[in-house]
A = this chain, B = another copy of it.
């Protein structure tokens, strides 16, 4: 059971996802909660349009920084700190 190396592509995807003020606001909002919330709640809280929300949540999810679960009409999102900790925590080692 040896540790999996992290691919450069994943590292870049995560850093790109983190390198945007809107997405940092989303993460900040989610980080203050200990439960999932609907995308609409986040969007309303930080003042972005639905369309913009769809775009940014997709990037965060693809990077593994949030989890997303669609239930009927709504999509529930929550922060996923594991990806950050893994990718960023091992940055120097496997750079």
Q: Which of A71-91 contact B (CB under 8 A)?
A: 81, 84, 88, 91
- Identical copies in the complex: 2
Q: Which of A1-44 contact B (CB under 8 A)?
A: 8, 11-12, 15-16, 18-21, 24, 27-28, 31
Nearest chain B CB to A57 CB, angstrom units: 17
State whether the Cβ of A92 lies closer than 8 Å to any Cβ in chain B: yes
Question: Are A19 and B21 in contact (CB-based, < 8 A)?
Answer: no
A18–B15 Cα gap in the complex (Å)? 6
* Residue tally, chain A, CB below 8 Å to B: 19
Known: A19-B19, A88-B88. A95 touches B24 (CB 8 A): yes
Nearest chain B CB to A20 CB, angstrom units: 7
Beyond A15-B19, A31-B92: 18 further Cβ-contacts under 8 Å?
Answer: A8-B21, A8-B24, A11-B24, A12-B19, A12-B20, A12-B21, A12-B24, A15-B16, A15-B18, A16-B19, A19-B19, A24-B95, A27-B95, A31-B95, A81-B92, A84-B91, A84-B92, A88-B91
